[in-house]
């Protein structure tokens, strides 16, 4: 990614029809709201901006569903320049033809001025749909958007699709994949994780952003949803536990110091081990080892993870030097999301 893009804090724009679930997504992922509480969210009337100061600084802009941002009163350059991704949220439980029409119009409008924008379509609220129906809707959305863009002359548009719900881990997985595209060091991180798992008999390893539970990288083995859920639940459990007994998390100064050595592991009845280690104040490694001998080799695992931690530090220090301080894998900034809003 271009240096100036990073320095401008890449933006995620959340767009889609009213009540499609945009504010619920930001509230659940970035503000730890319980999914059920989103039932009481009021309709957004202004562009809602969140600035996330974490391993990488980025912004999330939540657009009110009824806004026409191509109206001449809006400065489209200000809205769309420097964005990391445009996330289009479709309510899969509702009639979505209008939403698809607005999506394709938006992509076509943007292609001329901002041809490199990543468009991420969230086919959302899939929790109450059965497996077959879910996959039918997904195929239908992919097909119709693809056909409309083809008809308009766009053969390979930069569009990805995700099935999501705030009631399970799918929203975190989808946002993880969106965020990963914004991380310039992703290849290096994946290589390091591959080396770690191959040398330590690990099945899968994830590097999580502690506060959002988005994973910023994993090794390159195929994703296994069960293993992902174990890792995501384990980080949840550990963060809750350390919050309870360790320190007030909203004190950014003590966060780095006290979290530095947080480490935890648990061995299941079948011998499977889940292992967690804080890498720095923003990132945490969580891994699963499906080997009965894992608990006898914990010293080796600790050692390998320690080497991984040093390598990770070196990667972020280099990125830090390059960007003059915008990548915050280690070092400054508060880990709490900042929030503000913009009148429209």
Ligand X SMILES: Nc1nc2c(ncn2[C@@H]2O[C@H](COP(=O)(O)OP(=O)(O)OP(=O)(O)O)[C@@H](O)[C@H]2O)c(=O)[nH]1
Point out which residues bind ligand X (CB under 6 A). 18-24, 38-39, 41, 43-44, 64-65, 124-125, 127-128, 165-167
At its nearest, how many Å lie between ligand X and the CB of residue 91?
7
At its nearest, how many Å lie between ligand X and the CB of residue 25?
7
DSSP letter for 295, please: G
Smaller CB distance to ligand X: residue 46 or 292? 46
CA distance 141 to 153: 18
Smaller CB distance to ligand X: residue 128 or 332? 128
Backbone angles phi, psi at 327, to 5 degrees: -90, 120
Say if residue 42 is exposed, middle or buried (CB neighbours under 10 Å; 0-12, 13-18, 19+). Answer: exposed
At its nearest, how many Å lie between ligand X and the CB of residue 32?
15
Smaller CB distance to ligand X: residue 90 or 286? 90
At its nearest, how many Å lie between ligand X and the CB of residue 342?
14
Smaller CB distance to ligand X: residue 157 or 337? 337
Smaller CB distance to ligand X: residue 127 or 317? 127
Smaller CB distance to ligand X: residue 44 or 328? 44
At its nearest, how many Å lie between ligand X and the CB of residue 340?
17
Tokens of 187: 């290849």
Q: H-type helices in the chain, by residue range?
A: 3-7, 22-31, 76-80, 97-113, 131-151, 170-180, 186-200, 225-245, 252-259, 298-323
Smaller CB distance to ligand X: residue 5 or 38? 38
Q: List Cα–Cα distances, 269 to 70, 202, 203, 291, in angstroms.
A: 58, 17, 17, 11
Is there a contact between 191 and 211 (Cβ–Cβ < 8 Å)?
Answer: no
Backbone angles phi, psi at 50, to 5 degrees: -115, 135
CA distance 176 to 155: 26
At its nearest, how many Å lie between ligand X and the CB of residue 4?
30
Is there a contact between 188 and 97 (Cβ–Cβ < 8 Å)?
Answer: no
At its nearest, how many Å lie between ligand X and the CB of residue 130?
14
């Amino acid at each position: 990614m271009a240096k100036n893009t990073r320095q401008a804090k890449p933006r995620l724009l959340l767009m889609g029809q009213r009540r499609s679930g945009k504010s619920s997504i930001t509230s659940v992922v970035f503000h730890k709201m319980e999914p059920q509480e989103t039932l009481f969210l009021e309709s957004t009337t202004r562009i809602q901006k969140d600035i996330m100061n974490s391993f990488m600084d980025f912004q999330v802009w939540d657009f009110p569903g009824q806004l026409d941002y191509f109206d001449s009163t809006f400065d489209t350059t200000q809205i769309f320049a420097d964005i990391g991704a445009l996330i289009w949220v479709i309510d899969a439980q509702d009639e979505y033809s209008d939403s698809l029409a607005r999506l394709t119009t938006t992509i076509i409008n943007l292609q001329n001025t901002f041809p490199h924008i990543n468009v991420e379509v969230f086919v959302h609220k899939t929790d109450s749909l059965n497996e077959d129906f879910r996959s039918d809707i997904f195929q239908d959305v992919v097909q119709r958007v693809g056909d409309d863009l083809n008809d308009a002359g766009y053969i390979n548009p930069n569009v990805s699709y995700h099935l999501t719900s705030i009631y399970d881990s799918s929203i975190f997985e989808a946002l993880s994949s969106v965020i990963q595209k914004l991380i310039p060091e992703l290849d290096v991180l994946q290589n390091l994780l591959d080396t770690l798992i191959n040398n330590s008999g690990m099945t899968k390893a994830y590097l999580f952003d502690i506060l959002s539970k988005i994973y910023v990288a994993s090794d390159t083995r195929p994703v296994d949803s069960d293993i992902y859920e174990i890792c995501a639940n384990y980080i949840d459990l550990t963060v809750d536990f350390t919050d309870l007994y360790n320190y007030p998390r909203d004190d950014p100064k003590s966060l780095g110091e006290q979290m530095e050595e947080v480490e935890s592991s648990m061995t299941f009845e079948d011998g499977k081990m889940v292992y967690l280690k804080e890498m720095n104040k923003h990132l945490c490694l969580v891994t699963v080892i499906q080997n009965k001998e894992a608990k006898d080799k914990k010293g080796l695992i600790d050692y390998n993870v320690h080497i991984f931690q040093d390598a990770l530090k070196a990667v972020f220090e280099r990125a830090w030097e390059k960007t003059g301080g915008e990548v915050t894998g280690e070092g400054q900034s508060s880990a709490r999301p900042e929030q503000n809003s913009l009148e429209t």
